[in-house]
Structure 1
Amino acid sequence: MTTPSTTPRTVLVTGGNRGIGYAIAEEMIAQGHRVAVTARSGSGPEGSFSVVADVSDAASIDAAFTAIEAELGPVEVVVANAGITKDMLLMRMSEEDFTDVIDVNLTGAFRVVKRASKAFLKQRFGRVIFISSVVGLYGGAGQVNYSSSKAALVGFARSVTRELGARGVTANVVAPGFIETDMTAELPEEQQAEYRKAIPAGRYGQASEVAKAVSWLASDDAGYISGAVIPVDGGLGMGH
Structure 2
Amino acid sequence: MSKKVLITGGNKGIGLAVSRAMLEFGYEIVIVARDFDTCPLVGVEKVTCIEYDLSDVDGLKELANTVGNIDILINNAGYMQPKYTYNNYPKEAREHIMNVDLYTPVELMNIFSEHMKKQKYGRIVNTASIAGQIGHPDVWYGMAKAALINATKIYGKLLGSYGITVNCVAPSPTETDMQKDNSEERKAEFKKTVATGRFATPEEVAKAIVWLATDCPEYINGICIDINNCSYPR
Residue 160 of structure 1, CA deviation: 0.8
| 1:71-104 deviation digits (Å, cap 9, x = unpaired) | xxx2011011111322222111223322221121
Are residue 125 (structure 1) and residue 121 (structure 2) matched? yes
Q: 2:13 aligns with which of 16, 19, 33?
A: 19
Are residue 227 (structure 1) and residue 222 (structure 2) matched? yes
User: d(CA) in 2 for partners of 1:191 and 1:139?
Assistant: 14
| 1:200-236 deviation digits (Å, cap 9, x = unpaired) | 2321110011110011001134322111000112122
For residues 8 and 232 of structure 1, do their structure 2 counterparts lie closer, same or farther at Cα, with a shift above 3 Å needed?
farther
Q: 3-state SS of the aligned residue for 1:162? A: helix
For residues 126 and 44 of structure 1, do their structure 2 counterparts lie closer, same or farther at Cα, with a shift above 3 Å needed?
farther
Question: What corresponds to 2:133 in structure 1?
Answer: 137
User: d(CA) in 2 for partners of 1:190 and 1:30?
Assistant: 38
Q: 3-state SS of the aligned residue for 2:32? A: strand
Q: What percentage of residue pairs aligned between the two structures are identical?
A: 30
Note if contact 1:55-1:109 (Cα within 8 Å) is conserved in structure 2. no
One-letter amino acid of the counterpart of residue 16, structure 2: Y
Question: What corresponds to 1:102 in structure 2?
Answer: 98
Note if contact 1:44-1:50 (Cα within 8 Å) is conserved in structure 2. no
User: d(CA) in 1 for partners of 2:191 and 2:121?
Assistant: 40
Gaps of 5+ in 1: 1-6
Residue 40 of structure 1, CA deviation: 1.5
One-letter amino acid of the counterpart of residue 166, structure 2: A
4+ aligned runs moved over 6 Å, structure 1:
none
One-letter amino acid of the counterpart of residue 213, structure 1: A
User: d(CA) in 2 for partners of 1:68 and 1:98?
Assistant: 28
Q: 1:209 aligns with which of 204, 211, 215?
A: 204
Q: 3-state SS of the aligned residue for 1:91? A: coil
Question: What corresponds to 1:4 in structure 2?
Answer: none
Note if contact 1:129-1:214 (Cα within 8 Å) is conserved in structure 2. yes
Gaps of 5+ in 2: none
Are residue 89 (structure 1) and residue 88 (structure 2) matched? no
User: d(CA) in 2 for partners of 1:76 and 1:212?
Assistant: 19
Are residue 111 (structure 1) and residue 110 (structure 2) matched? no
Q: 3-state SS of the aligned residue for 1:198? A: coil
Are residue 153 (structure 1) and residue 148 (structure 2) matched? yes
User: d(CA) in 1 for partners of 2:212 and 2:202?
Assistant: 16
User: d(CA) in 1 for partners of 2:81 and 2:185?
Assistant: 22
User: d(CA) in 2 for partners of 1:59 and 1:168?
Assistant: 28
Question: What corresponds to 1:80 in structure 2?
Answer: 75
Q: How many aligned positions are there?
A: 228
For residues 50 and 205 of structure 1, do their structure 2 counterparts lie closer, same or farther at Cα, with a shift above 3 Å needed?
same
Q: 3-state SS of the aligned residue for 1:127? A: strand
User: d(CA) in 1 for partners of 2:144 and 2:183?
Assistant: 26
Are residue 30 (structure 1) and residue 24 (structure 2) matched? yes
One-letter amino acid of the counterpart of residue 149, structure 1: A
Note if contact 1:80-1:129 (Cα within 8 Å) is conserved in structure 2. yes
Residue 67 of structure 1, CA deviation: 2.7
Aligned CA-pair RMSD? 1.9
Note if contact 2:79-2:178 (Cα within 8 Å) is conserved in structure 1. no
User: d(CA) in 2 for partners of 1:185 and 1:97?
Assistant: 18
